[in-house]
Amino acid sequence: MVKSRSLMAAGAIATTAVLALVGCSSADGGADDAETTTLTVWVDAERVDALKDVAKAYEDKTDIKVDLVSKANAEIKDDFTQQAPTGKGPDIVMGAHDWLGELVTNGVVAPIELADKQDEFLEVAYEAATYEGQQYLLPYGVENIAVLRNTELVPEAKATFDEMLAAGTFVVESDGSGLANPYHLYPFQTAFGAPVFGSDENGYDTTDLQLGNEGGLAFAQWLAAQGAAGVIDTELTGDIAKERFLSGDAAFWLTGPWNVGVAVDAGIDVAVDPIPTPGTEAAQPFAGVKGFLLNEQSKNKVAANDFLVNYLGTVEVQNALFDSGKVLPALKESADYAASDEIVAGFREVGADAVPMPAAPAMGAVWEFWGIAEGAILNGEDPVATWQKLAADVEAAIAG
């Protein structure tokens, strides 16, 4: 009796299993039969909406389906690096140009052919798309910092740093807990003629560290003076800087286009000014270039190349991306089109001086020490000795 019940049970299980299996397999088979090529594209969650129409238009044009997958910006790079080797990664991934060093060293991105289009892109965008002489990134947007000015408090742009300080309070964000934010301070550093690396026709030369040159020491001394005067403060974090500008407490805010929206929403009449140089040379901010990268392990490389170079790299598409995303386009012609927007035009003007953030892995060594040294100088450490030690530490870290 007991035996036969078990047997019955086994039979029932087998039936259920087979039924379930049939159900699953038939559903699967349907998808496999379809002949369309599908490109999987990982997109920064904040920008996925801007891309939807463009992707749809490409589908209509070519019958290649574009599957946009929204990913949190902080996770895209690591997830992509880990999944690409399994062959299950996306065909295309949205990323920033400064990821290139790491991604190329990991062998997960493939070069794309942009050489004929060099003149169509903004110089900084093309430069940023290039790593060790090869182009890996299809640039679509360029971002850099500039000075936001509250026009109610200060109606006119100021030409020099001291004039600006005299006209109103200036805020720039730091990382807090004794750390400066070197990204935001970089324009002042270049104003003294101290870029991180020297550069040649292939882009940055990471063996030529310029950080510790005479200009760097002059910048360190200037920084110490600003720290002592309380103009730049390591404890003034991004949130505090934002709050002080929004409350009308500060008239100038050195920040990027990502913060313009919140200022406009707060009812502030914002103007975008060039960064006034405290030194002898132009204050060059870092440019961050956003774009799309091709997975080296993609099985749809022809479709992906077509989508990237022949579609996303065209003026109409970059115009459309600008309309939906309001980021300065990487193509010259589209950038001109975007000039109708005063804010974007303002940032572009400042960005004419911008230099791409170095993408080489050696830059990791710089970031590691940079903010600490600047923070220490702002908080009263000896500027020259600290800056020299920074240069020595970075040099040792790159070599070792």
Residues 241-280 that bind other proteins (CB under 8 A): none
Among 49, 78, 152, 336, binds other proteins (CB under 8 A): 78
Cβ 340 to other proteins shortest distance, Å? 32
Among 176, 193, 248, 256, binds other proteins (CB under 8 A): 176
200 touches other proteins (CB under 8 A): no
Instruction: Tell me whether residue 341 or residue 382 sits nearer to other proteins (CB atom).
Output: 382
Cβ 332 to other proteins shortest distance, Å? 20
Among 303, 330, 343, 344, binds other proteins (CB under 8 A): 303
Interface with other proteins in residues 280-299 (CB under 8 A): 296-297, 299
The site string for other proteins over 119-158 (x = CB under 8 A, - otherwise) reads -------------xxx------------------------
Q: Supply φ then ψ for residue 132, to 5 degrees.
A: 50, 45
Residues 6+ apart with CB under 8 A from 246: 262, 263, 266, 268
Cβ contact 251:148 at 8 Å: no
| Residue 381, amino acid | E
Q: Which two tokens stand for residue 346?
A: 């303002």
Query: Taking contact as CB under 8 A, which single stretch among the options 47-55, 203-211, 305-313, 332-340 is the one that binds other proteins?
Result: 305-313
The size of the interface with other proteins (CB under 8 A), counted in residues, is 80
Cβ 40 to other proteins shortest distance, Å? 15
238 touches other proteins (CB under 8 A): no
Cβ contact 220:377 at 8 Å: yes
Residues 6+ apart with CB under 8 A from 353: 274, 282, 283, 284, 285
Extended beta strands in the chain, E state: 38-44, 65-71, 92-96, 109-110, 130-131, 134-135, 137-144, 146-150, 170-172, 197-200, 203-209, 252-255, 270-273, 286-295, 328-329, 355-356
Task: Give the Cα separation of 294 and 91 in Å (integer).
Answer: 6
240 touches other proteins (CB under 8 A): yes
